[in-house]
Amino acid sequence: MLASRPYLLRAMHEWIVDSGMTPHIIADAAHPDVVVPDSAIQDGKVVLNISPTAVRDLLIDAELVSFVARFAGVSQAVSVPTAAVDAIYARENGRGMMFADEDEEQGEDAKAEAGDDEKKAQAKKRSGPNLRVVK
Cβ–Cβ < 8 Å for 5, 99: yes
Q: Which residue has the higher pLDDT, 1 or 122?
A: 1
Contacts 24+ apart (CB under 8 A), 28-31: 28/84, 28/86, 31/80, 31/81, 31/83, 31/84
Distance CA 101, CA 70 (A): 29
pLDDT tens column, 74-105: 999 999 999 999 999 999 999 999 998 765 55
- 121 part of a folded domain: no
- 134 part of a folded domain: no
Domain, as residue range, for 27: 5-99
- 105 part of a folded domain: no
Q: Which residue has the higher pLDDT, 1 or 22?
A: 22
- 110 part of a folded domain: no
- 32 part of a folded domain: yes
Domain of residue 72, CATH code: 2.30.30.220
With 0-12 CB in 10 A as exposed, 13-18 as middle and 19+ as buried, what is 126? exposed
Tell me the average pLDDT across 57-83: 94
Cα 29 to its chain centre, rounded Å, is 15
- 130 part of a folded domain: no
Task: Place 122 in a pLDDT band, splitting at 50, 70 and 90.
Answer: low
- 43 part of a folded domain: yes
Number of separate domains in the chain: 1
Q: Where are the alpha helices (DSSP H) in the chain?
A: 5-18, 102-125
- 71 part of a folded domain: yes
State the pTM of this model: 0.73
